[in-house]
Structure 1
């Protein structure tokens, strides 16, 4: 029995090391792709006449957004886009604060703004359902989506729509999001580093090498005809943006990532809010896996299969590899167990740590944020923030498969 237990401990440890290293190497390759995509973007030009640009309906799902909705509408009214080609629809999803009042004041000042009130008895069914209702009211050829806490830069729609009409295979284009409250506290600083790394490594790298990118839920445009072809948003999905991405690629379309298009958003300022938000993300990805896994495994190798396997790897294998390796490391230090596999594991851990820092610092340099403060925060994040994801995924799995609590979309708290 002792011998079997030792073999089990050694096997779990070795497989954990392998899985962690595979993910690190994959992300390092994507980091190179992000660097190459950044260089290529610097040579692209954005010169489109007003006649070329399509008409746009901007959808803003809003539920109790009195703290932020005004700034978003003001930024949209300052967009460098033909006035006659844009309409702004605020979908008031049963708000019980001053959201409707604030939006109505704007409708009196500018005819491009409309408000769609969802009755109380039909409200609160999630962002996807709200967007579907907005889609039915939209009149224009292109649909743009912004979360209520966003402040997009003035050229955002011009660049997104210009890129959209430039390539026939594109169903949509997505921009980059940045945190405007990044300096608020330690948590927002860590989220800022994470979001920069995600976009310049995962999004930019995958687009450069595989022409793959994910809809991030805000700061994106998509052809209305494509949305109607695939049936709009899945109202059951907790991450309606990711689920929509799958169906778009299944139809043979592409979604282009344009990090030159920036929208500033508010990130969670409290750990409790962050945990709830990220739990919803993890549960949403579990839903996508359960919805598409069997179906996609029967098809030829394509985007959906690649990305689904990546989700499985990231949210299951990689997270559990971290959990097991950290647990075994602590138990071994405490001399409760022994790891008898011979190998340069201390060197591997040190190099993994070094590789992690290199990837993060390269991504930060693209935003000119590769400073000493962020370098030290990246070290801190490796030891703490990244480990919180293990807790988040375990929490999501519990709610997804064991809890009897109703699974519903929860709006992120505003500050």
Structure 2
């Protein structure tokens, strides 16, 4: 009994310590505001797109007012869409006086679509964004304000603001998750760099980046890690907003989150050699903590729940089921009001499934249901 209790405490210690560090970091993180630009640099904007006929026109219209037209090049990288994405994108480019092109290629996944889009860009600074969301009028300029503020900054990412068509446990869990996510990324940026970018709002200098692995790894994390490997820093810009519709149904959120968890884990584990003094505070502080968060905490968290159930059940037959009931109530409490405990438990589940899902090839993605933006 004593041995089981000590083992349970030891395993529980890992998630408690890791997330205590992150909570303290989020509370104490300081946000700095981007400098105002006197001269706006020319940028190329790459939009990987697959079956985006319901949203691509609105997205291009949004971009037409997000940055000076004469300084903006748009590359829509159409990844083998089977709907009217290509034609609608071409028509919208003309309608909104956007300079650039629509390139179409066989279905090969988001990473390759991004690589192909980048190959067609003509500017030194590239912005990667999604087709299913919106920038505000300051998003790109705020990204540029930080990206061009120092030669050692190679990439930047902005903040994602989510909204949903339904108010459910799963849409609320996303809201709670986002409430702390940006603060953690900001803290990491203050220490050195973050690689937990939001893929729908990323900007980078070509000289600082490398081509994405086309089969493994999330595009945003892989991009940031390549920049860090090349000796540059990656910064989070909370004022640069991207507004994205997120799933409110469990089946849709589960599919999206497991895919994202899998790809993020791939990027993290495949780049484990950055755990090195060679990469400064990122290699010795940020990466180890993220590795623990993604690859170790989910397994130890659920194992500790099983062990605590056994420990409490050995004291009284009622205590074990009562403990399980408490965990279920904590998860369901997120349906009443968004909170971090409910969101934490749900996302540990997604990460745990993502660990097993790494055995599958998930580089070809399916978009969420599109309803227009």
With the shorter chain as reference, the TM-score category is 0.7 to 0.9
- 2:181 paired residue number: 198
Structure 1 residue 173 displacement after superposition:
1.9
Any conservation in 2 of the 1:59–1:90 contact (CA below 8 Å)? yes
TM-aligned CA distance change 1:93 to 1:326, over 3 Å: same
Aligned-partner Cα distance in 2 for 1:413–1:151: 16
Structure 1 residue 323 displacement after superposition:
0.7
Q: Does residue 1:189 correspond to 2:176, yes or no?
A: no
Structure 1 residue 335 displacement after superposition:
3.9
Matches within 5 A, 1:48-197: 48-49=37-38, 52-79=39-66, 81-119=67-105, 122-123=106-107, 125-181=108-164, 184-197=167-180
Aligned-partner Cα distance in 1 for 2:299–2:315: 20
Larger Rg: 1
Post-superposition CA distance 1:131-155 (Å, at most 9, x none): 1111111111210111111100011
- 1:412 paired residue number: 367
TM-aligned CA distance change 1:299 to 1:161, over 3 Å: closer
Counterpart selection for 1:319 from 298, 301, 306 = 298
Aligned-partner Cα distance in 1 for 2:180–2:84: 36
Structure 1 residue 297 displacement after superposition:
4.9
- 1:393 paired residue number: 351
Post-superposition CA distance 1:14-44 (Å, at most 9, x none): 113321321232113212332x22xx43xx6
Report the 3-state secondary structure (helix = DSSP H, G, I; strand = E; otherwise coil) of the residue aligned with 1:220. strand
Any conservation in 1 of the 2:261–2:354 contact (CA below 8 Å)? yes
- 2:222 paired residue number: 243
Structure 2: where are the runs of 5+ without partners?
Answer: 318-322
TM-aligned CA distance change 1:323 to 1:218, over 3 Å: same
TM-aligned CA distance change 1:8 to 1:408, over 3 Å: farther
Any conservation in 1 of the 2:128–2:203 contact (CA below 8 Å)? yes
Aligned-partner Cα distance in 2 for 1:253–1:300: 10
Stretch deviating more after TM superposition (8-17 or 93-102): 8-17
Structure 1: where are the runs of 5+ without partners?
Answer: 1-5, 339-345, 351-355, 357-372
Report the 3-state secondary structure (helix = DSSP H, G, I; strand = E; otherwise coil) of the residue aligned with 1:60. strand
Aligned-partner Cα distance in 2 for 1:307–1:204: 12
Runs of 4+ deviating beyond 6 Å: none
- 1:281 paired residue number: 260
Aligned-partner Cα distance in 1 for 2:168–2:24: 32
Any conservation in 2 of the 1:160–1:173 contact (CA below 8 Å)? yes
How high is the TM-score relative to the length of structure 1? 0.78
Structure 1 residue 196 displacement after superposition:
2.2
Any conservation in 2 of the 1:57–1:138 contact (CA below 8 Å)? yes
Any conservation in 2 of the 1:250–1:304 contact (CA below 8 Å)? no
Q: Does residue 1:26 correspond to 2:35, yes or no?
A: no
Aligned-partner Cα distance in 2 for 1:288–1:139: 28
How high is the TM-score relative to the length of structure 2? 0.86
Any conservation in 2 of the 1:33–1:209 contact (CA below 8 Å)? no
Any conservation in 1 of the 2:157–2:236 contact (CA below 8 Å)? yes
Any conservation in 1 of the 2:60–2:93 contact (CA below 8 Å)? no
- 2:200 paired residue number: 218
- 1:363 paired residue number: none
- 1:255 paired residue number: 234
Alignment size in residue pairs: 358
TM-aligned CA distance change 1:390 to 1:408, over 3 Å: same
Structure 1 residue 13 displacement after superposition:
1.0
